[in-house]
Chain A
Amino acid sequence: TQLLEQSPQFLSIQEGENLTVYCNSSSVFSSLQWYRQEPGEGPVLLVTVVTGGEVKKLKRLTFQFGDARKDSSLHITAAQPGDTGLYLCAGGNPRTSGNTPLVFGKGTRLSVIA
């Protein structure tokens, strides 16, 4: 069973458009992370959200953590070709106590066309 469900799996948009990526779970997470990964590289941490209802902004990227801490969203405003990549949400595995290594969603592969 996939702990974190991401949607959409693939997204191809024109430069300048806005988009939202979703990360949903039936489990409560103490925090969720968003990573961006380019082909052949390791994931790069973008943000961590901790508090239910929290909103964090990173330039044109806006991250939100659901009130119940079961879901998160990533909104990109005026997408640029440099935003192209695989966006992964991740969180500490709520099924393990104490040691909580990351579990990942399947990712959203974003392509921004100039």
Chain B
Amino acid sequence: DTEVTQTPKHLVMGMTNKKSLKCEQHMGHRAMYWYKQKAKKPPELMFVYSYEKLSINESVPSRFSPECPNSSLLNLHLHALQPEDSALYLCASSQVSGDSHTMNTEAFFGQGTRLTVV
């Protein structure tokens, strides 16, 4: 199983709504990532979890709140978003080298959630 599953595939939300994006993998990967991708741009890193602990936050606004409940699941909680936050949100996972906690750069991506903020 080399799948990373993201739900929902599409989401439309108002600026006052609270919603969550979900991501699941069963490859035993201990690093999980959230990326944001705007149209015609490459993915941009938002958050990195290593062994269920937040290790990197790329100065993301607090209206995005990540959560890693266990080694297979990664959530992104959304609150009070702006229309400019509309984008494709990608989850990815990779192995971590046990001793050095170095993330393997071979990342496997989910299909993404197409988010539209109205």
Measuring CB to CB, which residues of chain A are less than 8 angstroms from any residue of chain B? 30-31, 33, 35, 40-45, 48, 88, 90-92, 98-107, 109
Contact = CB atoms under 8 A, between A and B. Distances in A.
Interface residues of B, number: 29
Interface of B: 4, 6, 31, 33, 40-43, 45, 48, 50, 55-56, 88, 90, 92, 100-103, 105-112, 114
Contacts of B42: 88, 104-107
Contact of B112 (A35, A41, A45, A105): A41
Given A48-B106, A91-B105, A103 B55 contact: no
Contact of A45 (B45, B90, B102, B108): B108
20 contacts: A33-B105, A40-B112, A40-B114, A42-B109, A43-B43, A45-B106, A45-B107, A88-B42, A90-B105, A91-B105, A99-B48, A99-B50, A99-B55, A99-B103, A100-B102, A101-B107, A104-B43, A105-B42, A106-B41, A107-B42
B101 A98 contact: yes
A102 B41 contact: no
A105 B42 CA distance: 7
A114 B111 CA distance: 27
